[in-house]
């Protein structure tokens, strides 16, 4: 049964446990080799109460964690206009082209079926997390509209601290257990880089002691701005972590559908040795 995350994580759970869940994450295939971490959903409380997901239960340190994922039934909100917004979301469409590139199937195309059943489905080539759980129309905007949802006041700074104290450790524990082959963090803002570094467990924040690395002149990534990179180690397992420009065709970031698809192909060919 598909249930909005607002109901699953805030109503069926409790506000106090909210920050120890994967609320606000698109999820998908937790066993995927490529994990992607974004900022937060673009939206508001009204949409948070309508967007439907399914959930898979996993065990993590003797606790049950609900992992969200989507299929075609999750796109029926009862409002055709809102359903179309979900299907035409620019971020999701760019990410879908990136995911198609990861499959290395040249005949695959991003269509309505791929968005509905594959992008955040249980067999997706990616697993998608977001740093923050509450949808907002602008990053770092006010969260006042959610005030009535919690049993206590939630100033913006306390909201961020709760994510750092409870949500980010969950991310780190998931990474430690599932050990993806690569982690891609989207967003190059100074504060965003610090949040990404903390969320994945990198001691020295991206860009703290170095300038962005420039992409080589090639057809795949030359249009993109620079990136930062680091690495996580779990015994013999080394996980490269890349901090890339936020996935948008706006603000001169350099992304478009072809770049997103070809970039994934290039990354596969070079085994993510982007230097």
From CA 21, how far away is CA 85, in angstroms rounded? 25
- Note the pLDDT of residue 273: 52
From CA 167, how far away is CA 66, in angstroms rounded? 13
- Note the pLDDT of residue 21: 95
From CA 176, how far away is CA 49, in angstroms rounded? 31
Residue entry with tokens 């409002």:
79
Residues of the chain with pLDDT under 50: 274-275
Beta-carbon contacts of 45 under 8 Å, excluding residues fewer than 6 positions away, are: 6, 135, 145, 146, 149
From CA 173, how far away is CA 168, in angstroms rounded? 9
Q: Give the model confidence (pLDDT) of 156-191 as tens digits.
A: 888 999 999 999 999 999 999 999 999 999 988 889
Contact (Cβ atoms closer than 8 angstroms) between residue 168 and residue 198: yes
- Note the pLDDT of residue 274: 45
Tell me the pTM: 0.91
DSSP, collapsed to helix, strand or coil, labels residue 258 as: helix
Residue entry with tokens 């206009």:
81
From the list 57, 144, 98, 150, the residue with the least C-alpha distance to 261 is 98
């Amino acid at each position: 049964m598909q249930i909005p995350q607002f109901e699953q994580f805030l109503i069926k759970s409790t506000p106090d446990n909210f920050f120890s869940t994967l609320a606000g994450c698109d999820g998908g295939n937790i066993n995927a080799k490529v994990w992607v971490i974004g900022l937060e959903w673009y939206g508001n409380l009204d949409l948070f109460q309508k967007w439907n997901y399914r959930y898979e239960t996993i065990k993590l340190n003797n606790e049950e964690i609900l992992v969200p994922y989507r299929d075609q039934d999750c796109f029926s909100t009862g409002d055709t206009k809102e359903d179309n917004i979900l299907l035409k979301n620019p971020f999701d469409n760019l990410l879908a082209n990136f995911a198609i590139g990861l499959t290395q199937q040249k005949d695959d195309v991003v269509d309505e079926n791929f968005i509905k059943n594959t992008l955040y489905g249980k067999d997706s080539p990616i697993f998608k997390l977001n740093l923050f759980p509450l949808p907002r129309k602008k990053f770092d905007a006010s969260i006042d509209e959610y005030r009535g949802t919690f049993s206590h006041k939630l100033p913006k700074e306390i909201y961020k601290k709760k994510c750092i104290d409870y949500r980010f450790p969950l991310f780190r524990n998931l990474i430690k257990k599932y050990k993806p082959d690569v982690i891609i963090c989207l967003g190059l803002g100074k504060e965003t880089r610090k949040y990404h570094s903390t969320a994945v467990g990198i001691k020295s924040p991206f860009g703290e002691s170095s300038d962005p690395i420039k992409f080589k002149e090639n057809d795949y990534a030359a249009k993109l701005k620079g990136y930062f990179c680091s690495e996580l180690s779990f015994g013999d397992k080394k996980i490269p972590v890349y901090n890339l420009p936020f996935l948008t065709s706006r603000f001169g970031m350099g992304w478009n559908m072809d770049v997103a698809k070809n970039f994934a192909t290039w990354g596969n060919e070079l085994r993510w040795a982007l230097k």
